[in-house]
Amino acid sequence: MGMDLSTLRTLIIRYCVGEENWVDSRTIYIGHKEPPPSTEAFIQQRFPDNRIVSSKYTFWNFVPKNMFEQFRRVANFYFLIIFLVQLIIDTPTSPITSGLPLFFVITVTAIKQGYEDWLRHKSDNAVNQCPVHVVQHGKVVRKQSRKLRVGDVVFVKEDESFPCDLILLSSSREDGTCFVTTASLDGESSHKTLYAVQDTKAYRTEQEVDAIHATIECEQPQPDLYKFVGRINVYMDNEPVARPLGSENLLLRGATLKNTEHIYAVVIYTGMETKMALNYQSKSQKRSAVEKSMNAYLVVYLCILISKALINTLLKYVWQAEANRDEPWYNQRTESEKQRHIVIRAFTDFLAFMVLFNYIIPVSMYVTVEMQKFLGSYFIMWDDEMFDEELGERAVVNTSDLNEELGQVEYVFTDKTGTLTENNMEFIECCVDGHVYVPHAICNGQVMPGAASMDMIDTSPGPGAREHEELFFRALCLCHTVQVKEEETVDGIKHGLHQGKSTSFYISSSPDEVALVEGMKRLGFTYLRLKDSHMEILNREDEIERFELLEVLTFDSVRRRMSVIVRASTGELYLFCKGADSAIFPRVISGKVDEVKARVERNAVEGLRTLCVAYRPLSPEQYEEVCHLLSGAKLALQDRDKRLAEAYYLIEKDLILLGATAVEDRLQEKAADTIESLHKAGMKVWVLTGDKMETAAATCYASKLFHRNTQILELTTKRTEEQSLHDVLFDLSRTVLRQHGGMTRDTFSGLSGDCTDYGLIIDGATLSAVMRPGQEDSSSGNYKEIFLEICRNCSAVLCCRMAPLQKAQIVKLIKDSKEHPITLAIGDGANDVSMILEAHVGIGIMGKEGRQAVRNSDYAIPKFKHLKKILLVHGHYYYIRISELVQYFFYKNVCFIFPQFLYQFFCGFSQQPLYDTAYLTLYNISFTSLPILLYSLIEQHINMDILKKDPSLYRDIAKNSLLRWPIFIYWTILGVYDAIVMFFGAYFLFDNTTFTSNGQLMTTNTQMMFGNWTFGTLVFTVLVFTVTFKLALDTHYWTWINHFVIWGSLIFFVVFSLLWGGIIWPFLNYQRMYYVFMQMLSSGPAWLSIILLITASLLPDVVKKVICRALWPTTTERIQSVRDMRVFERALAYQSSDSLLDGEAVTEA
């Protein structure tokens, strides 16, 4: 019992400190073979098949699920209720006026979402039906990927992708290794080395592999890509031999086999349990801030509508309370309807008033918004500046629902490798004992043009230094995990030499290592190959030197260094070590530390990736001790990582410093300029990467995310090992808050010149500890809040060694913080998909390999530099346009329906419409829809070149500034004012009436026929012209299309009214509008009245704009004024030059 309790306590402690070892386990029988009876019980577990599902709907649930999602929108549900009311009771307007637009919106949205999901189904089927090779009964057979089961042994050839998560059993390579690229997972095109199980690597044929008798015990699926704990029991003569399994044996789904003819591997995780599938977020519907504002405004207008209907219903019964006032005759109520209970009659009247005033809620706005988003998205796809000639790709819009959100971004979360950088390393220089060597530019094995000879700054070190120099070059040729690949086989002959020169090239899991080995090649020392555990190098004298590779102490992010132990042909033993300066200098006991350190600091400031190189000669006794330490640590099943770290710590000491190197990771074109522009626009940029800290930090300096004066704060595993997480967080919090005097930096202020810029670096393990819920007591506190407080006061944040799901957690953390900022995530690999789906806006980069990010993104762009245009120009324009569209729609509908409300006070609250049915139906569909749709597509309030040159203009529209409540209230009040002017202006024209000789009632001042349809037509005419002129006044960018649509809409209204009232239409059962419009236009005073009422309606808005521009102009308005002044000056100069030419012509005459 005591043993059980101690085991339980160990598990709890491990879980609490973040180690996910053996939380739960599964047993896998390789080849589905039962273990020997004497060893363990055979319990066959059930696992899912290998199907991947990324689709949202099925054939059976599409209609109900899609309808449910669509009717969750307030507007759609409201219009459905109104439509049903119009069907059930007798209302003043036809059900078609509400039903048709609703049906159109629902149908278009369903078709669009159904098509997108069909594409996802198609993509899933292509993956699930992909053929794979499986070993069965000693033969290789083909089956579909979806039919793979846990325990199957899979045969994979070179350049094929792994169909699920596998454990490597054997390889075509003699040493049991294989090389993979994870470009489709994380954008890394470099080769990673993985190792076969020691006891199975000798099995290389189908029959041999099929004969393997073994079981695997491993943890249940975990989303962490970089962690795997398990063991394999290989049965030899019915006795199990246990071997540890780690991440070095695990082949991840989606990775590709490279530089290895074939491998055999056993399936351990399938389908939605693979590590990459566990890192995918579920694809949820994203809604923009503008849509949320629209829904909020809709609720307000719904309350106004209900209030209007209630007031009118109440006043109707108050008015009818007198004995001589009854239901008007023209409502044609039957006796049975009049005898109903008063509550039923009141409720029916309330619903009738709701339908009558229903037009205040603009159903056509949702149709127009859908069209604006769909058509507007083509401007991104047609933009030639976002076309990449190298890839032959244009920007792609996967969803048009978020166009305006591009103009509201406050936080940008970007991947590093393949997004900010090209993942293309260039060896710059090396420093040996203070002597600097600078060869010509070498990049990934390609010598740049013109680099014909070696160029060293310092070619004359002393005799002792020359020995150190050669030792340094040898160290870099030996201390790495680089593999040599010869030229591809052609016609069965391997061409390894071309014109007497080797055409082989280097591949490695780290592009830095390739650049360093290539750099050494240019400086006279060439790494040739690793053969039979011997590394061969070619020295300056063209002599081949052989070193036996005894041990490799692999790199890890905590130690931040790697080492090799080699034996020279003379029998001498050396430990060569390279790593970050902070990891090497404390372990050095001799060497020219000061000179090398100065050079390293200089290179780091320039954003170069620096490494230090040191060595230690070993005696045979010391080597024996090293072997004993390493073998003990490697065989440990529990705490293996910890024991290896302790062994490495004891081995890598008493080093002699040789020198340092500097490598540049090429940034993508204009990446630094783009980040600088985003900062000026007020956005905070975070880099989230799976890369190690030093590499990522160097890129951040190069891309101008961190500046020279940026004070770097570290929240990393190394620091939390020295101090508790609680203490580290509070130290950092005090540091940043002391600078700001307890005041947090405004989350949208970007870079500030009057305070220290802080940059925060955090790694994945520490983030896990921060994100884990803690006890709410004084000792632990709320770590998330403290972490957020630190981040708010940092101008830039770098998160390194991030698992894909952690990237999404970071985005969610910021997204859900109290400010609720708009977030954007951009990346190029499958490991970025989770954060792309989590952010408000997800952007995929079209990398050369892997399209998962592009497929799952909202927008896809060829290069990172295009982010500047899509945000600062397109995003800015889309937001300006749709803001005006939304406010204008509510405004013009208030203008439209408020006179109807006022009219009820003059018609005994009888629900009599003020406007004719044709005008009610066509107002939003034909007379006023096209001008605002065109405005929302092509309006440019500022030239796009100015938007690109001055990113600070982006701040003018920040935080949904054009759709805030004060502006919404202003537009509503303006609409009410215009409605009052129109209604009462027309009312006073009809104030005095008299009978003509033929018995018609005429107005004495305008000589128009007096009647409710004439009155309504006059109000409607003023209304159409006022709202159209209002839009014309707001338009800054005039083209012939604007003129055609704006003036064309007004002409269409006049022509329609003349035809509608000028002909007796036989299909109508009424002819109430006959001759009304023409008779109104025949009155001269009516024309004058229309002009005066339009002027009176527009005047306050014009005056307000003039005063605000003069006294409180925004940055945008200042630029517009400057532009208008320049246009005016150019016109004056042109006019004066014309006058001068005319004067000269007269003089000559």
C-alpha torsion angle, residues 644, 645, 650, 655 (rounded to 10)? 120
**For position 166, what pLDDT does the model report?**
93
Structure confidence by residue, pLDDT tens digits, 440-458:
644 333 443 434 333 344 4
- What is the spatial distance between Cα 256 and Cα 191, in angstroms, rounded to a whole number? 10
Q: DSSP for 275-324, please give it.
A: HHHHTPPP-PPP--HHHHHHHHHHHHHHHHHHHHHHHHHHHHHHHTTSTT
- Cβ atoms of 230 and 165 closer than 8 Å: no
N- to C-terminal Cα separation, the chain: 122
**For position 493, what pLDDT does the model report?**
38
- Percent of the chain clearing pLDDT 90 (strictly above): 17
- What is the spatial distance between Cα 901 and Cα 1011, in angstroms, rounded to a whole number? 18
Which distant-in-sequence residues (6+ apart) come within 8 Å of 507 by Cβ? 179, 190, 191, 258, 259, 482, 483, 484, 485, 514
Helix (H, G, I), strand (E, B) or coil at 457: coil
User: What are the Cα distances from residue 82, in Å, to 91, 357, 365, 688?
Assistant: 11, 11, 16, 49
Is the pLDDT at 214 greater than 80? The verdict is yes
Is the pLDDT at 584 greater than 70? The verdict is yes
Structure confidence by residue, pLDDT tens digits, 123-172:
888 888 889 999 988 888 999 988 899 999 999 998 898 999 999 999 98
The two beta strands, 505-507 and 483-485, are antiparallel
The mean per-residue pLDDT over the stretch 171-198 comes to 77
**For position 578, what pLDDT does the model report?**
93
Confidence of residue 495 (pLDDT cuts 50, 70, 90): very low
- Report the candidate in 890, 886, 884, 879 with the shortest Cα–Cα distance to residue 960: 879
By the 10 Å C-beta count (0-12 exposed, 13-18 middle, 19+ buried), 1012 is classed as: middle
The token duo for 158 is 């070179």
**For position 1085, what pLDDT does the model report?**
73
**For position 1145, what pLDDT does the model report?**
52
Angle at 296 between CA 291 and CA 297, to 5 degrees: 95
- What is the spatial distance between Cα 260 and Cα 82, in angstroms, rounded to a whole number? 67
Is the pLDDT at 29 greater than 80? The verdict is yes
**For position 489, what pLDDT does the model report?**
39
Q: What is the mean pLDDT of the chain?
A: 79
**For position 22, what pLDDT does the model report?**
39
**For position 774, what pLDDT does the model report?**
56
- Looking at residue 353, its amino acid is F
Structure confidence by residue, pLDDT tens digits, 415-436:
887 788 876 778 888 998 888 8
Which distant-in-sequence residues (6+ apart) come within 8 Å of 115 by Cβ? none
Confidence of residue 776 (pLDDT cuts 50, 70, 90): very low
Is the pLDDT at 491 greater than 50? The verdict is no
The mean per-residue pLDDT over the stretch 113-127 comes to 84
Is the pLDDT at 52 greater than 50? The verdict is yes
Which has more pLDDT, 106 or 191?
Answer: 106
- Cβ atoms of 890 and 969 closer than 8 Å: no
- What is the spatial distance between Cα 655 and Cα 472, in angstroms, rounded to a whole number? 13
Is the pLDDT at 569 greater than 90? The verdict is no
The catalytic position among 415, 757, 828, 978 is 415
Which has more pLDDT, 855 or 456?
Answer: 855
**For position 780, what pLDDT does the model report?**
46
Lowest pLDDT segment from 552-556, 619-623, 753-757: 753-757
Angle at 185 between CA 181 and CA 186, to 5 degrees: 85
Structure confidence by residue, pLDDT tens digits, 300-315:
888 898 898 898 888 8
Which of 73-77, 287-291, 863-867: highest mean pLDDT? 863-867
The mean per-residue pLDDT over the stretch 324-338 comes to 58
Confidence of residue 610 (pLDDT cuts 50, 70, 90): confident
**For position 201, what pLDDT does the model report?**
82
- What is the spatial distance between Cα 933 and Cα 882, in angstroms, rounded to a whole number? 9
Is the pLDDT at 576 greater than 90? The verdict is yes
**For position 191, what pLDDT does the model report?**
76
Active-site residue 415, yes or no? yes
Angle at 61 between CA 58 and CA 63, to 5 degrees: 115
- Report the candidate in 411, 401, 369 with the shortest Cα–Cα distance to residue 284: 401
Q: H helices of 671-828, where?
A: 671-680, 693-702, 717-722, 725-739, 764-771, 783-792, 804-815
Is the pLDDT at 16 greater than 50? The verdict is no
The mean per-residue pLDDT over the stretch 703-732 comes to 82
Confidence of residue 1138 (pLDDT cuts 50, 70, 90): low
* R_g (Cα) of the chain, nearest Å: 38
**For position 822, what pLDDT does the model report?**
92
Which distant-in-sequence residues (6+ apart) come within 8 Å of 1043 by Cβ? none
- Report the candidate in 935, 1131, 936 with the shortest Cα–Cα distance to residue 1043: 935
Helix (H, G, I), strand (E, B) or coil at 578: strand
Confidence of residue 973 (pLDDT cuts 50, 70, 90): very high
Bridge partners of 267?
A: 166
DSSP state of 708: T
- Looking at residue 294, its amino acid is M
Which distant-in-sequence residues (6+ apart) come within 8 Å of 625 by Cβ? none
- Cβ atoms of 868 and 876 closer than 8 Å: no
Handedness of CA 922, 924, 925, 930 (dihedral sign): positive
**For position 7, what pLDDT does the model report?**
43
Is the pLDDT at 746 greater than 50? The verdict is no
Q: DSSP for 333-396, please give it.
A: --HHHHTS-HHHHHHHHHHHHHHHTGGGS-HHHHHHHHHHHHHHHHHHHT-GGG-BTTTTB--E
Which has more pLDDT, 277 or 457?
Answer: 277
Helix (H, G, I), strand (E, B) or coil at 609: strand
User: What are the Cα distances from residue 19, in Å, to 133, 225, 862?
Assistant: 35, 14, 39
DSSP state of 448: P
For residue 660, what is the enclosing H or E element? strand 655-667
Is the pLDDT at 501 greater than 50? The verdict is no
- What is the spatial distance between Cα 851 and Cα 252, in angstroms, rounded to a whole number? 17
Structure confidence by residue, pLDDT tens digits, 998-1026:
444 455 555 555 667 788 888 899 999 99
The token duo for 921 is 């139906």
Lowest pLDDT segment from 356-365, 622-631, 717-726, 1131-1140: 1131-1140
**For position 778, what pLDDT does the model report?**
42
- What is the spatial distance between Cα 97 and Cα 844, in angstroms, rounded to a whole number? 42
The token duo for 323 is 């004995």
- What is the spatial distance between Cα 1038 and Cα 106, in angstroms, rounded to a whole number? 34
**For position 877, what pLDDT does the model report?**
93
How crowded is residue 1048: how many other Cβ atoms within 10 Å of its Cβ? 13
DSSP state of 926: I
